[in-house]
Amino acid sequence: MHGPHLVSWLLAVLTAASGGYCLSRLRHAPCAPVTAPAVLRTGPGRLHSHEADLAEGLMGFGMAAMAVAGTAVPGEVWAWVYGPPAVVLVLAAARRPDRRAHRLHHAVGALAMTYMALAMTAAPGHAGHHPAAGSPALTGALLAYFGGYALWSGSRLLSGSGGTAAVASAGLPRACRLSMGIGMFAMLLTM
């Protein structure tokens, strides 16, 4: 990621913490009864699955690694890390319509990470100067998508009714999704 080192490290801490939280939720049973704690739900009556926790956790740690390592790791390596999961998520979304939007969101995130890695290694900066990398149209579309996603997830976080501990714990997964959306937006913005 191009940009000040402090911003890169702060982004790495934020996304690693979000990824760690998502991976810690893997110990919860994905087929819990409907009376499960609200922390397992992603929407009204829906339970959060291991697939989503795993995808969000790996994306958080991957974003942290890319923010710190950036161009030190060849773009082809990042492409092999993010490309196959993106393809698997797209195929899974095509087969099962019940979680299609969620899977496509994670596929867009994985493809965006692949795009950023390949674009940054194709045009590395020299002596502190970082030329624009990648396609401005594609970067703009991804910025619009993740900016919109951050606004949408932020509005969902703010619209939750407060008061009980269960509602408060339901906000933490939403806050993690919000922080990863903002992190993706920031990474795209520094290209």
Residue 164: Cβ-neighbour burial (10 angstroms; 0-12, 13-18, 19+): exposed
pLDDT in tens, 70-125: 767 888 888 888 889 889 888 888 887 777 888 889 899 999 988 988 887 776 55
pLDDT at 127: 40
pLDDT at 46: 41
Domain parsing of the chain, residue ranges = 5-189
User: What pTM, to 2 d.p., does this model score?
Assistant: 0.75
pLDDT in tens, 128-182: 445 557 889 999 999 999 999 999 988 888 876 554 444 445 677 778 888 888 9
pLDDT in tens, 13-53: 988 888 888 888 877 644 433 333 443 344 433 444 677 78
- The two structure tokens encoding residue 98: 């019940």
pLDDT at 137: 93
